[in-house]
Amino acid sequence: MKPPERRQSARVPVTLELSYFSAGQLARDLVTDVSEGGLFVRTRKPLPIGTEVELHVELPEGITRLRGRVVWLRGPRAGEDGMGIAFVGEVPPSIQALFHRSNESA
């Protein structure tokens, strides 16, 4: 039996490059979905749960910076390694637009 869904808003599939620092090294990975509460980063080297991180997301109009906190991890058995990151603080309008544009077209 599947555990109950905890997400409070729908995911929007995207493919966006992003960069952030991990263990003092610049990491480059992909965002594969975004919601009002956060995003999923596909990576083979996730940060520990609770880590706060500044993300630099590459959008067509330029790079957008935002802060987030790692709230869950997904391993290779789930099909896509990565980490769920909850937004911390103000979410830039360019990130909000990704979610709202998708809802308008649905």
* Average pLDDT score, the chain: 86
The pLDDT tens digits for 67-105 are: 999 999 998 776 789 999 999 999 999 999 987 765 555
CATH of domain 12-105: 2.40.10.220
Burial of 92 (0-12, 13-18, 19+ CB in 10 A): middle
> Any idea where the domains of the chain sit in the sequence?
12-105
Q: How far apart are CA 75 and CA 54, in angstroms?
A: 22
Q: How far apart are CA 47 and CA 84, in angstroms?
A: 10
Q: What percent of the chain has pLDDT over 70?
A: 84
The answer on pLDDT for 18 being more than 90 is yes
pLDDT at site 104: 53
Number of helices (H) and strands (E) in the chain: give both, helices first. 1, 6
Q: How far apart are CA 104 and CA 106, in angstroms?
A: 6
The answer on pLDDT for 30 being more than 70 is yes
pLDDT at site 103: 53
Q: Are 59 and 17 in contact (CB under 8 A)?
A: no
H-type alpha helices, the chain = 93-105
What's the Cα-to-Cα distance from 56 to each of 14, 22, 65, rounded to whole Å?
15, 13, 5
pLDDT at site 1: 42
